[in-house]
Amino acid sequence: MGKLIFKYGSMGSSKTAQALMTRYNYEAKGTRVWLVKSSADTRDGADILRSRIGLQANAFVITPGMNVKELFEVQRMDGEHYEVIIADEAQFFTEEQIWQFREIASDYDVLVICYGLRTDFRCQLFPGSRALFQLADDIDEISSVCRCGRKTVVNARIGADGRVTVQGPQVEIGGNDKYESLCWTCWRNELRANGVKNLSEVL
């Protein structure tokens, strides 16, 4: 049973909803689940995991300085023998923390399912996502549809002027007010309309 799985998709692809439904299905069968999320996700409250369709649950919050394996081992010593770990916003975990999830899966025969983004608004891999692509046993894409009908691949950031931008820090928390999931072609066309002619010069 011990595996590390990465389920990735663009924003709005129902990753959090699937994470919560997966947790429900396991717990309905009597399986102990540890639901965790990155501390970078503060949209709905520090320890709240909420999907766009209204599903929500309390989650254990992982900060960048925490050792996930040590936390898991402390839980075991306290009598919490989790069989499944479900981790949301996995792109925000550090590479070291992804290695720790990997070790938990192998050392304790635990199923670890990480949900998150693949890339940022510049199509650059997040550190946590890069580590998951390197270490996961299984990698599954959760697809969603662009406004044009193609598959979304870019989490386009919307600037203060309401236009797609490639400026700013990699991590900037927001919802539909700050991001729109687009296919690569629509994203490129938006940037070209904003005067960006050569993407390789700005990415």
The reply to whether 180 belongs to the active site is no
Check 70, 89, 95, 201 and give the catalytic one: 89
d(CA 39, CA 66): 11
The three state secondary structure string of the chain is CCEEEEEECCCCCCHHHHHHHHHHHHHHCCCCEEEEEECCCCCCCCCEEECCCCCEEECEEECCCCCHHHHHHHHHHCCCCCCEEEEECHHHCCHHHHHHHHHHHHHHCCEEEEEECCECCCCCECHHHHHHHHHCCEEEECCCECCCCCECCEEEEECCCCCEECCCCCCCCCCCCCEEEECHHHHHHHHHHCCCCCHHHCC
Distance CA 53, CA 107 (A): 36
Residues known to be catalytic: 89
